[in-house]
Structure 1
Amino acid sequence: MDQVPGSPQEPRDAQGDNGLPGCFRHPDRPTGIRCTRCDKPICPECMISASVGFQCPDCVRSGSGRAAQTTAPRTIAGGTIAADPRLITKILLGLNVAVFVAVMATGGALSPLVNRLDLVGLAAEPGGYHLVGVAEGEWYRLLTAMFLHQQVAHIAFNMLSLWWLGPPLEAALGRARFIALYLLAGLGGSALSYFLAAQNQPSLGASGAIFGLLGATAVLLRRLRYDMKPVLILLGLNLVFTFLWPNIAWQAHVGGLVVGAAVAFGMVHAPRDRRALVHVATCAVTLLAIGAVVWVRTLQLVG
């Protein structure tokens, strides 16, 4: 969510609605990085790599810090600093909207596209059920269901949340790690929904991934020692809404939240000298755990 621009002299710990402070030179840009010399929040454009962490342009110009020109700037998770910290968020938002338009154009909730891509394990028939979808080996539905929405209110809420939570995380983690976080959180939500929900009831939506971003935001704020009250209040309200509102797949929300928080923890707490290894291991173990959950549930249904 955009902030109202202020002067460069505003308090350096001023917090935006998303819990992250604005850059001291660009207050409308939330950031999770601070200058290692003066502790001012700095956005990717203002970051200058130093021997330890990043420094702001003021410290470098004044000679209070020495920039390391041979090292490319990195995010707190070791990702490459991007000129546009919203690019992946925009792409994900565009994919969700494009699929929604395609669904509406081909019949809405009764669209053959929905029937081929939503998350389902059993189908009702006279005298019982028969296996369909994921239970028949169509594991791709765990991914494609993340980009399906049937109602305007549903996609509007999810995309607003994505636009609000995505850019700060994308800037703090880097593009590749942000993509991994989003997809793994969505898959985690799909897996838990497949494992626990009624298997003859289709499930779809990006809510699992969105809850993953909420969990990741909480982990990031704690790592940076920022005020966690705004995100915890938001998370609490969303969980209350999840369990009280009818026809919501709470399993997907909880699964996405747990996976998103776990993956983010591995990303932002990895030792600097083994960062890449820890990140790959975190994502690999998470993916294996998701696969195991789906495999066990499929065996239960087949048996």
Structure 2
Amino acid sequence: MFNNIPPITRNIIIINIIVFIISNLVYRDELFNALAAFYPFSPNFHSWQIITHMFMHGSLMHILFNMLTLWSFGPVLEQSLGEKKYLILYFISGLGGFFLFNLWNFIEVQQITSAMEALGLNVSEIYTKAAASYKGNMNITANTQEGVELSQSLYNVLRTPMVGASGAIFGVVAAFATLYPDAKLIFMFIPFPVKAKFILPIIIIVSIFLGFSGNVGGIAHFAHVGGALVGFLLALSWKKHLYRFH
């Protein structure tokens, strides 16, 4: 059955599985610090993380959900778009997720640092202590609850990377919904088929709400939105040149 999956989708799934096994069972800390996508102004950020984070997953459920979704929607798009456009769709959607997620991070960091500076706190010390290679003490100059909380918030942004193919996967789902809006989809938690064109706005609205509400739960909701928007725009621009299934 696996051999029947088109080559690009199949190879993406295989690479993700291999990286997941190695990064979670062998060199977890080293690979997560090197390959996961840190905030671009974090001392832990490296340019290659823009791509490599798409192959990193933090849990078995995370990679299962992403790869099953790719397996469900990817083959149709790979065959209809062709390998080149499908690859463009996948990786540009992933980049869109990275960009929007970190745009929100940038806004949050600006708010935190402005508040810290207003309290007379040393922002640069948090950047220094947030480096994965830092071996010194973790004492900070903040001596009020507000200062400690702000320092911790900044530290968390700088030390918490984004991992997963979710931006790319949401781009694939959005592209499918754009090209095949009347396709009926069946989900485990919905007892009846739903047309693809209704799924896309629900995904975006829910992700935006969760992102702004702060109910993140370790999930990069704005990465989902960024990937979905890119997938939608790319599919929309290609749509008139494609033969569609009936």
Query: TM over 0.5: same fold?
Result: yes
Q: Cα gap change, 1:241/1:102 in structure 2, threshold over 3 Å: closer, same or farther?
A: farther
* C-alpha separation in 2, matches of 1:247 and 1:217: 26
Identity of aligned residues (%): 32
Which has more helix, going by share of residues? 2
> Partner amino acid for 1:131?
S
> Partner amino acid for 2:195?
P
Matching residue of 1:230: 195
Matching residue of 1:204: 163
Superposition CA RMSD, Å: 2.8
**2:229 is the alignment partner of 1:258:** yes
**2:38 is the alignment partner of 1:117:** no
Q: CA deviation at 1:180?
A: 0.8
> Partner amino acid for 1:114?
F
Matching residue of 2:42: 131
* C-alpha separation in 2, matches of 1:238 and 1:262: 15
Q: CA deviation at 1:165?
A: 0.7
For the Cα contact (< 8 Å) 2:57–2:163, is it kept in 1? yes
Q: CA deviation at 1:239?
A: 4.8
Dislocated runs of 4+, deviation >4 Å = 225-229, 236-242
For the Cα contact (< 8 Å) 1:119–1:194, is it kept in 2? no
* C-alpha separation in 1, matches of 2:241 and 2:197: 23
Encode CA deviations 1:40-79: one digit per residue, 9 max, x unaligned: xxxxxxxxxxxxxxxxxxxxxxxxxxxxxxxxxxxxxxxx
> Partner amino acid for 2:238?
M
**Aligned counterpart for 2:84 among listed residues 170, 176, 185:** 176
> Partner amino acid for 2:33?
N
For the Cα contact (< 8 Å) 1:221–1:227, is it kept in 2? no
For the Cα contact (< 8 Å) 1:133–1:141, is it kept in 2? no
**2:15 is the alignment partner of 1:95:** yes
Matching residue of 1:191: 99
Structure 2's unaligned 5+ residue stretches are: 109-156, 186-193
* C-alpha separation in 1, matches of 2:26 and 2:69: 26
* C-alpha separation in 1, matches of 2:203 and 2:27: 30
Aligned length: 177
Structure 1's unaligned 5+ residue stretches are: 3-83, 123-129, 273-303
> Partner amino acid for 2:22?
A
With CA pairs under 8 Å and 6+ residues apart, which has the higher RCO, 1 or 2?
A: 2
